Structure formats: C-alpha cells, structure tokens
C-alpha cells in the first residue's frame, strides 16, 4: 500500500508514495513537512527506512540491505529511531538511529541487549526518552515481552515499565500517554 495524507476531517486526501511496494509505520517530522516510513520489500524478505516530503517529492532511502521496521521521527527533528530484525529464525531485533538528513546509522547498544530483542521505539514528546518493546530471548516460547524506557542522551538509564510475561505489546507510543 501507499502512504496518503489528509486533513483531520478526511478531506484533501493526497497520495504521497507510489512505489509498487508496501509502505508502513509512517511518522511525521516535527515540522510536518516530511514522513519517514518502513518500505516493505516482501519479495526481497527485507525492509528499508525511507523519507519523503508530504507532497511526494524528495523521496530518499536511508537504509539499504537490512530488515528494518517501525519508524519514529524524533520530536527534535534530527533522528529517526527504528528496529532491525537481525536474525529471522530467532526473531532477534535491535534498535538503531538514522540521521534524518544524511542517513548515517548508529546502532543502539543497550545494557544486556545480547539477551534481549528490542523493537518498536517511540519518542517522549520532548525527545529526551525512548520507550520500546523488549523481549527476553532466553525465555523461549514463554518469553516475556515488556515496555522499557531509556534516556536518549546516554542510553544508560534503562527502566522496565511493565512486567507481564507472555503478553504482546506492539504500541509503546500509548505508554507515553500514561507516564
């Protein structure tokens, strides 16, 4: 499917992308002028992160040859958080940041992350924290899936927000409303 924009009342629907693949998980830039999104290339068994102006111009691919998903544009404007599937068999995932202009990618190295699959990042409204889904990779089929939060500045102040083994959480942005 393609990405579209419209006014809150549903009028002025405008097609933003027309790529022949599926674009998912769009996120507006803070100024509302651009979108980042996950470009699902199912035939290649991969996903990439792209950006485009809301009028459909200025299309750019930020990643190449990875299996990326779940974009979240920082409220401060300079970064896009997303996750990559590192291993399809184990479903291991990790968080990454892409510079919204240059596309330079930085892996997020969180404490103990070799035993965890981190995904679905969402920014706090002020851009200082990231909430994300963390799955315990050592627990097998009964692994716990919980929401965690970390300070963006140094990525060291990890805090577990939920403790609910066996419950799937795929919308961490909702958790920020209740913080």
pLDDT in tens, 16-65: 988 878 888 899 999 999 999 988 766 556 788 889 999 999 988 888 87
* Percentage helix, strand, coil for the chain under 3-state DSSP, each rounded to 5: 10, 45, 45
**Where does 46-151 have alpha helices with state H?**
none
CA–CA gap between residue 84 and residue 66 (Å, rounded):
7
pLDDT for 110 equals 82
Q: Which of 31, 42, 36 is nearest to 16 (CA)?
A: 36
Mean pLDDT, all residues of the chain: 82
- 32, 64 contact by CB (below 8 A): no
pLDDT for 79 equals 95
The tens digit of pLDDT for each residue in 73-88 reads: 999 999 999 988 877 7
Strand-pair partners of 51: 36, 60
Q: Which of 62, 69, 61, 111 is nearest to 93 (CA)?
A: 69
pLDDT for 64 equals 80
pLDDT for 1 equals 79
CA–CA gap between residue 149 and residue 176 (Å, rounded):
10
CA–CA gap between residue 40 and residue 114 (Å, rounded):
26
pLDDT for 141 equals 53
The tens digit of pLDDT for each residue in 94-153 reads: 899 999 988 899 888 887 667 788 889 999 999 999 999 888 777 655 567 889 999 998
Q: Which of 76, 25, 75 is nearest to 51 (CA)?
A: 25
pLDDT for 139 equals 65
- 63, 81 contact by CB (below 8 A): no
pLDDT for 178 equals 39
pLDDT for 156 equals 82
Buried b (16+ CB within 10 A) or exposed e, 59-70: eeebbeebbbbb
Neighbours of 82 (CB within 10 A): 30
Taking 70 as the threshold, does the pLDDT of residue 167 lie above it? no
pLDDT for 177 equals 41
């Amino acid at each position: 499917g393609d990405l579209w924009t419209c006014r809150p009342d549903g009028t002025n629907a405008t097609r933003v992308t027309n790529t022949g693949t599926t674009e998912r998980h769009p996120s507006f830039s803070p100024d509302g002028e651009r979108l980042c999104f996950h470009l699902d290339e199912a035939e290649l068994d991969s996903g990439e992160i792209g950006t485009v102006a809301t009028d459909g111009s200025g299309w750019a691919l930020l990643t190449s040859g990875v299996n990326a998903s779940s974009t979240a544009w920082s409220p401060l404007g300079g970064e896009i958080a997303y996750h990559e599937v590192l291993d399809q068999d184990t479903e291991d995932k990790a968080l990454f940041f892409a510079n919204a202009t240059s596309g330079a990618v930085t892996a997020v190295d969180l404490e103990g992350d070799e035993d965890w699959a981190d995904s679905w990042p969402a920014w706090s409204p002020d851009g200082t924290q990231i909430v994300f889904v963390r799955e315990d990779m050592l627990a097998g089929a009964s692994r716990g899936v919980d929401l965690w939060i970390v300070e963006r500045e140094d990525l060291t102040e990890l805090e577990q927000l939920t403790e609910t083994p066996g419950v799937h959480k795929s919308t961490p942005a909702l958790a920020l409303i209740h913080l």
